[in-house]
Amino acid sequence: MRPLGLPTWSDKLVGEVVRLLAEAYYEPTFSDRPHGFRPRRGCHTALREVDQTWTGTAWFIEGDIADCFGSLDHQVLLSILGEKIHDQRFLRLVRNMLGAGYLEDWKWGATLSGAPQGGVASPILSNIYLHRLDEFVETVLIPEYTRGDRRARNPAYLEMQNLLAKARRRGDRAQARMLRQQKVACRARIRMIRDIEGCATSATRTIISWVLPDQNPRPSRSSCACPSSCVMNSGWNCPRTRP
């Protein structure tokens, strides 16, 4: 089981002051990708970002940081804080909080790494620590694995355009009306879809896990198992053909 630290009321008060100061200073500098333990953000906003912006995604790479709170290196965290905070009293207070130790069965134990799992300031300190990971993903990994300078055309949308043109030439107004409705529902372009020439990568992170999508093209229309009346019979948005 994961150990849970329970600070005393005075430690909680000091931790809340540290959290307020650190959050006010570091929150504006954080990336838009993290959603864990941030004001007006959470799992729902992360899922909303995935649903609204990661269209055309075929599969995801999910990673998890095991024992995130308990594995924070105190010296690394203090050096990160010391880059922008030059008040030694504040840094000494954080150092004493991290190294205060714990009581278990009335026996004192040293905390050589990590932040208390139940500490008030632990989430903001973890976000400050993991901000380096966010910068590495955004400045190194994403540019390295992103290819192409424009989005690929949606084959399903092009197919609907051709069918609509044929229906108009035949004078089939009912078929043309139905195809226009399907065309409106089908996006002209898929954001960051991967083809032979182009590949795009994005990322999002909760407090201890992150997701990297790989935008591969979804199945073609022939693989859709829906009837012909399915509005999304292109297979690109049909739930039966989603990986």
pLDDT tens digits, one per residue of 58-78: 677 777 887 788 888 999 999
Bigger pLDDT: 238 vs 42: 42
For 17, residues 6+ apart whose C-beta sits below 8 A from its C-beta are none
* Separation CA 163–CA 166 (nearest Å): 5
Q: Contact 111/101 with Cβ under 8 angstroms?
A: yes
Task: Read off the pLDDT band of 156 (50, 70, 90).
Answer: confident
Q: Is pLDDT larger for residue 171 or for residue 186?
A: 171
- Summarised one tens digit per residue, pLDDT across range 12-64 is 899 999 999 999 999 999 988 888 888 888 888 888 888 888 776 767 777 78
The overall pTM is greater than 0.85: no
> Do residues 216 and 201 make contact, with C-beta atoms less than 8 angstroms apart?
no
